[in-house]
Amino acid sequence: MFAALVAKYLFIAGTIPFILLGTLHWLFTFLDMKKPTRFAPRDDVVRIGMQATTMRLTNRTSMWKAWMGFHHSHSIGAIFFGLIFLILAVQDFGALVNNTVLMRLATVVPLIYLWVAVRFWFRTPIIGIAISAACFIASFLLTL
């Protein structure tokens, strides 16, 4: 009983970094649409070049628009992942635990994000995602 309760709260805690970091990322991206300062290159010439250059895949969008679109969709994905699992855990953690696929996804997805963060990003998302992954893994292990 105690282990199940700890597992539930660890699982819920694991959702929080995705929701918070995803929301902050989306806010920064939204603000960059007006005044590019956060996810824009430090060298403004690069941003101007991104705005003037299309992708090889299609000439229907610029690299800058694709860049902004990536950041928006990335944010939405992180928020959605966190919120869906938060709702599932709060509403019926027992049913979630009994769904092997969802429990494994909740454990594997943060590990993939962690790999991406370590490989391509910077300290803040690495720390947040590592905390999330540790919470999900601990919760998963407590439910075995």
Q: What is the pLDDT of residue 1?
A: 85
Nearest partner of 18 among 101, 96, 111, judged by Cα: 111
21-51 confidence digits (pLDDT tens): 999 999 999 999 999 999 999 999 999 999 9
Residue 81, sorted as left (phi over 0), alpha (psi -120 to 50) or beta, turns out to be alpha
Which regions of the chain are under pLDDT 50? none
Looking at residue 56, its pLDDT comes to 93
Q: In the chain, where are the structural domains located?
A: 2-52+60-142
In sign, the C-alpha dihedral spanning 65, 66, 72, 75 is negative
